[in-house]
Amino acid sequence: MSLVDAAREARLRAHAPYSGFRVGAAVQSADGTVFHGCNVEISSYSHTCCAERVAVFKAVSEGHTELVACAVMTDVSPPATPCGACRQVLHDFGPDMVMLLANLDGECVEMPLKALLPDAFTPAQVLEKIKARHGGA
């Protein structure tokens, strides 16, 4: 099954009773394993989690911290791009990943994540600072 088809399947499980905006995501790790995610809306709205982050957290919690691709499925045209928070989360675990932004009509836009999050903040920036602090700087 293609990564876009995996995102389409994940979208079927979207829990979006408040917005009605159903999103499916699928991320692929460096060894080829695919993890699905859907948006999960919560009655106290701010606790909602986007499909992309659900997919990334599932991958990382199963030990897959290097991601190479992410497909996102919605029913809007042009296909939706990930929100800002998801861009950062995706970037932390796959700065070189390929994004496949798709919709139910078969439109699919491919682009590097870096195009969506140029000049990203990175884990290295935090880790360098921590290293310097523990080195006595």
Strands 67-74 and 34-38: unpaired
Q: CA-CA distance, 93 to 81, in Å (whole number)? A: 18
User: Is residue 98 a contact partner of residue 113, using CB atoms and an 8 Å limit?
Assistant: yes
83 belongs to the binding site for ligand THU (CB under 6 A): yes
Helix, strand, or coil (residue 135): coil
Does 52 qualify as catalytic in the annotation?
yes
117 belongs to the binding site for ligand THU (CB under 6 A): no
Among 7, 10, 34, 86, binds ligand THU (CB under 6 A): 86
Q: CA-CA distance, 73 to 51, in Å (whole number)? A: 9
Instruction: Name the one range near ligand THU by CB under 6 A: 45-53, 57-65, 101-109, 118-126.
Output: 45-53
Among 7, 26, 34, 50, binds ligand THU (CB under 6 A): 50
The contact set with ligand THU (CB under 6 A) reads 16, 19, 21, 23, 39, 41, 48, 50-52, 82-83, 86
